Amino acid sequence: MSGGPFFFAFDKVQVKYEMLRAHLVDGLPVVSAASEHGYSRAAFYLVAEAFEDKGMQGLLDEKRGRRGPLKVTPEINEYVRSAQHLSGAELSLEVAERFGVVLHRRTLERLRRT
């Protein structure tokens, strides 16, 4: 692994960049460059593809957490908060019938508390 004055081993973006550089500039085989930087051969190719597609942005890890839109719309949220007399299971059925969205009873119960 590169040990120059500007190398910080805990910076994942820099490690990925140095891994690519070791292969492309220094001529290390993919397997050697990957293993020296703590990655597998398969991971090397994923990093290389991401870098080719997005440049330095491709070296950043993906955001954690939910990736898609939430099913709960403001209308559903308002309805759930106003239907205090229904159980979670009953509310789940009501929301499915009224809004065409299937939500677990626990999700609806949590919505009420917030």
Q: Is residue 17 part of a domain?
A: yes
Exposure letters 48-62 (e unless 16+ CB within 10 A, then b): bebbeeeeeebbeee
Two structure tokens written together for 102: 């299937």
Q: Is residue 4 part of a domain?
A: no
The model's pTM is 0.53
> How many domains in the chain?
2
Q: Does residue 51 share a domain with residue 16?
A: yes
Structural domain boundaries, residue 39? 12-59
Q: Does residue 42 share a domain with residue 18?
A: yes
Whole-number Å distance between alpha carbons of 102 and 79: 14
Long-range pairs for 43-46 at CB < 8 Å and ≥24 separation? Answer: 44/19, 44/20
pLDDT tens-digit profile of 67-94?
655 788 899 989 998 988 889 899 999 9
pLDDT tens-digit profile of 36-63?
999 999 999 999 999 999 999 999 987 7
User: In 3-state terms, what secondary structure has residue 93?
Assistant: helix
